[in-house]
Structure 1
Amino acid sequence: MDKYPFLKKAGSLFKDCHVTKVGDLTKTWTGQTIKGPALIGAPLSKSSISHSGACFAPGSIRQALGGISAYSAELREHVTDHLYDLGDIDIHVTDIVKSHEHIYHTIHGLLTDQPDWVPFVLGGDNSISYSTVKAIAQTKGTTAVFQFDAHHDVRNTEDGGPTNGTPFRRLLDEKVINGQNLIQLGIREFSNSFAYEEYVKSHQADVHTMEMIREKGLVQTIQEVLPAVKKRADSIFISVDMDVLDQAHAPGCPAIGPGGLYTEELLQAVRFLAQEAHIAGIEIVEVDPTLDFRDMTSRAAAHVILHALKGIKLSH
């Protein structure tokens, strides 16, 4: 088509030859050995106890991520040279338990074959955490989870089965993780119950409410917790429920509310944790593009990924 130099592929965006976007560095995985971070989608939202279009989030987060510059002004280099995308895990049309099994077996199998892979899991609702953490714990040894969340997510399973409110109860009940190795950050006022607060306390989970974080600071809180965690655990997994952010910063979450974290606080914390040598991966859950405004929440999630990549880069 050299005869028509101004004719472009439909949907082509403006291209600046001096800007490298994350999308330019993202490659479809075709079975190569993976060393370091790579994306994988877990588009499940049927297990949500409220309306949720979180099944669309892997696509919206990828789109937001792909359009952002990969260059870090602080590092004075790109946060990654290449980023593999493994695609999406197949979700059963109606069976939630089967969907959880698909997620678990896929991540577990990939980690067994690709032990140097650091999964960057794009949810999906929070129910996927049961499968992702279980796969990590069974392949990476004793696992500590830093859970950024407004909610404890330890609802009983009798009332509704394995929902997006139950993953950490299932993990604790099945002893996949030890309560002391569950660090909950950002638990918000008027978002939980006495019974579930007592449950996490009975399992000795390390709970940090928004009031506590406002008093001390998020990164400082993590700095104080980390030395003891590293003595107990072989690996660290980061679970980010985007509703940990204040509703002004993340309107595209099913369970928004005031009084949450600011985006910059979350980004700093993720970057700090990702610098740890034994970081086993990160998941982002509870983004609903159907509720979002100007893709604010998907863009925030994309920046969480970028700051995790930056933290890993800083550690090398």
Structure 2
Amino acid sequence: MEEIRVEEGGNVGPIDSSQIPRYAGAATYARLPRLDQVESADIKIVGVPFDTGVSYRPGARFGATHVREASRLLRPYNPAMDVSPFANVQVADAGDMAVNPFNIDEAIATIQRNALELTADGASLMTIGGDHTIALPLLRAAAERAGQPVALLHFDAHLDTWDTYFGADYTHGTPFRRAVEEGILDTEAISHVGTRGPLYGKKDLDDDERMGFGIITSADIFRRGVDDVVATLRERVGDRPLYISVDIDVLDPAHAPGTGTPEAGGMTSREMLEILRGLRGLDIVGADVVEVAPAYDHAELTGVAASHVCYDLITLMSDLRANRA
């Protein structure tokens, strides 16, 4: 039987782990209430079990379930930011979108429609993928809600600004080129963070620069340090509405082996979390964490890392809403 935990301010929080063991019961993210268990939610966590857009290893369709399982150990107070995210605002798990695995165009339309429905009441959305194809419809919805093109911080080993794969316009390697073409990104405030590894040619970088992207590689993070990188990102984003998209392969395979396209030489989970914490106060309008493929995960390394990235993103959104209130 669930032990409901009521946080300060009256928000329904996670199940009380001092009363119900963490490993017992159905897994919602961080053991939070389901959306149907609360009157309304300020931040909604939703899974998108879709990986039809992958070009190498499949399996990210199981990512949201895996991250939820790995999130059982999360606790309601975030000491790194001195924030109790689930007490500040109501956070709830909205379950998974029902997405067609056989038709990418239909899947993209479904994700965009569902994202707009979930945010119709002013809620913020924390999405767990799924492959990176899903970022495009989520960005469409975020830009529509913001009423303007949004800034983007894209954490990834890869650029994801290629044109097509096998003639297909919509894949996990193309979402940000499509987003630029559609005018839903503020091209004065878009950056890749953590990129590395071989490319098809220098033209990849030339095309990317022409679209307006800045690049901070994983080697830059190592050499410059987190604080300098954060300062650069904050200056680039400014006070614009910001969407954050995190491909878990931005982390080195030592920290995130369970992903579809791993690349050596990546960020540590510590660097990732510290950069996110440095973005506190920016106008974050939505976020996703994608490309967790549990079949390749060992001892939940990737799931644990992804669950903590989600937790810090939720903390940032919760803190922003609480301060505005």
TM-score class, shorter-chain normalisation, is 0.7 to 0.9
| Distance in 1 (alpha carbons) for counterparts of 2:281 and 2:83 | 20
Matches within 5 A, 1:125-274: 125-140=131-146, 141-157=148-164, 159-161=166-168, 162-191=170-199, 193-231=201-239, 233=240, 235-273=241-279
Give the superposed CA RMSD: 2.7
Matched, 1:72 2:78: yes
Q: Structure 1 residues 172 and 201, CA, compared in 2 at 3 Å: closer, same or farther?
A: same
Higher mean alpha-carbon deviation, 158-167 vs 186-195, is at 186-195
Q: Secondary structure at the match of 1:178?
A: strand
Task: Say if 1:154 and 1:168, in contact at 8 Å, map to a contact too.
Answer: yes
Normalising by structure 1, report the TM-score.
Answer: 0.86
In structure 2, stretches of 5+ residues that fail to align are 1-15
Residue 285 of structure 1 pairs with residue 290 of structure 2 = yes
**1:124 matched to which residue of 2?**
130
Residues 276-285 or 188-197, more deviating: 188-197
SS at match of 1:195: helix
Residue number in structure 2 paired with 1:16: 18
Asked if residue 28 in structure 1 is aligned to residue 30 in structure 2, the reply is: no
Which protein has the larger Cα radius of gyration, Structure 1 or Structure 2?
1
1:187-223 CA distance string (max 9 Å, x none): 1032563222111111221111222222212342232
Give the structure 2 partner of residue 308 of structure 1. Answer: 313
* Deviation at residue 64 of structure 1 after TM alignment: 1.1
Q: Is the 8 A contact 1:20 1:69 kept in 2?
A: no
CA distance in 1, matches of 2:226, 2:83: 27
Contact 1:184–1:205 (Cα < 8 Å) also in 2: yes
- Provide the aligned length of Structure 1 versus Structure 2: 299
Q: What percent identity do the matched residue pairs reach? A: 25
Between stretches 99-108 and 151-160, larger displacement belongs to 151-160
Spell out the pairing of 1:98-117 with structure 2 (5 A cutoff): 98-111=106-119, 113-115=120-122, 117=123
Deviating more after overlay: 132-141 vs 21-30: 21-30
The CA deviation string for residues 6-33 of structure 1, in whole angstroms up to 9 with x for no partner, is xxxxxxxx95349999867511112833
Q: List gaps (5 residues or longer) in structure 1.
A: 1-13
CA gap of 1:238–1:203, structure 2 versus 1, over 3 A, is same
Note if 1:62 corresponds to 2:64: no
Question: Partners in 2 of 1:83 and 1:99 — Cα distance?
Answer: 26
